[in-house]
Amino acid sequence: MGVRTALEWLSSCSGCEIAILNIGEDLVALLTEHLDIVHAPVIMDHKYYGQCGDEGDHLEIPEAVIGIVTGGVSNEEHIEVLEEMRKKCKILIALGSCATQGGIPALMNGQNSAQSFAEIYQSPSTDEGSSLPDQGVPKLLDRTYALDERVKIDLMLPGCPPNPAHIAEVITALLENRDPELPTKSVCDSCPTKREGKGSVNTVKRYVENVEFDPNKPISEMRCLLEQGFMCMGPVTAAGCAKRGAPSCIEARVPCRGCFGSVLPKGNQMLDMMNALASNGIDFKSVVDRRSLLRFSGAHGNLRPKKKAAMKEDV
Ligand code: SF4
Ligand code: SF4
Ligand code: SF4
């Protein structure tokens, strides 16, 4: 018998579950020798209210030692499922940037949730004139929450999606009863690009402009993209994506967009990035949509609807 493990997904795109599959061969050993998956709606049918779907009067998830939850908390059903996972799992892991810092679904936090609901179901681009669904649809919350805003979380593993090697490390460490070895610094910390200590321009360059690099030279010969004037969020983003000696996007000569969320779980990537830009001599007012810097970390109250007086401005 392996260690009983339960998986759940809330406001999630299932990319984190694909990251689990991407553990590859090691996953086969974990599943055949060490883990006993007792609940995983993404891969196996399990009724929350008994196998006929109507036997119980409250939502039930089997007991497990390890619980892994992906996605943020956006509606009342998510709260119910998450609280049941907390109750039934000894160790609860928040997997992926949606679970740890709100991720993409928390972009909605920049608007009023009722307006978003109407926009999704009744706008000209979706289904103008239709009625809002009201049967069997869980009530939307005021905003999307990271898991640790609603229940106690034992371990956070960010990334959109997270690094499969780190998922395997976390599971293996738990099985071996030790602390997992995970990166704790920023994306810049694992970036080999050349830094000269001062930016070359004082306004942010648009992504349509080309990054300067020589394809025949190693990445260590390319100048830091932030110093080139691109909005590279490496300084304010948690490390973890580097697989072949450089952060994934930097290796592709593309600026970091911040998908691992803030270095500190409750940090604010937008405010931190303003400081990083200033340190590089770049005017933060040249950033067209500053709130978009919270595209992966809008939970924890970071991203909120604009106040009317601030609507004309872009913050
Ligand atoms: S963190 Fe990214 S990959 Fe994971 S559920 Fe959220 S959007 Fe999908
Ligand atoms: S800002 Fe970007 S390019 Fe520069 S060191 Fe950090 S991750 Fe690398
Ligand atoms: S470089 Fe930045 S955006 Fe790209 S994968 Fe790494 S953390 Fe995500």
Binding site membership of 193 for ligand 2 (Cβ less than 6 Å): yes
**Domain boundaries along the sequence of the chain:** 3-175, 185-299
Mean of the pLDDT values across residues 147-175? 97
Is a pLDDT exceeding 90 seen at residue 191? yes
Rounded CA-CA distance 251/44 in Å is: 37
> In terms of pLDDT, which residue wins out, 266 or 10?
10
Rounded CA-CA distance 23/4 in Å is: 19
Asked if 194 and 183 touch (Cβ cutoff 8 Å), the reply is no
Ligand nearest to C-alpha 156:
1
Q: What is the DSSP secondary structure assignment for residue 306, as one 8-state letter?
A: P
List the beta bridge partners of residue 89: 64
> How far does residue 197's CA lie from ligand 1's centre (Å)?
34
What's the confidence (pLDDT) of residue 250?
97
- Judging by DSSP bridges, how do beta strands 73-75 and 140-145 pair with one another? antiparallel
> What is the tens place of the pLDDT at every residue in 65-116?
999 999 999 999 999 999 999 999 999 999 999 999 999 999 999 998 888 8
Percent of the chain scored above 70 by pLDDT? Answer: 97
What's the confidence (pLDDT) of residue 310?
55
Sign of CA dihedral 212, 214, 219, 222: negative
Mean of the pLDDT values across residues 226-230? 93
In terms of Cβ atoms closer than 10 Å to its own Cβ (0-12, 13-18, 19+), residue 67 is: buried
What's the confidence (pLDDT) of residue 168?
97
Q: Which atom of ligand 2 is nearest to the CA of 276?
A: 1
Q: Domain 3-175 adopts which CATH fold?
A: Rossmann fold (3.40.50)
The amino acid occupying position 213 is F
Q: How confident is the model at residue 315 (pLDDT cuts 50, 70, 90)?
A: very low
- The mean pLDDT value of the chain amounts to 91
> What is the tens place of the pLDDT at every residue in 46-60?
888 877 766 777 899
> In terms of pLDDT, which residue wins out, 201 or 187?
187
> How far does residue 293's CA lie from ligand 1's centre (Å)?
17
Ligand nearest to C-alpha 222:
2
What's the confidence (pLDDT) of residue 280?
87
Predicted structure pTM score:
0.93
Rounded CA-CA distance 157/167 in Å is: 8
Counting ligand 1 atoms within 8 A of each CB, the residue from 9, 12, 78 with the most, and so the one to mutate, is: 12
Q: How confident is the model at residue 309 (pLDDT cuts 50, 70, 90)?
A: low
H or E stretch covering 188: none
- Judging by DSSP bridges, how do beta strands 140-145 and 155-157 pair with one another? unpaired
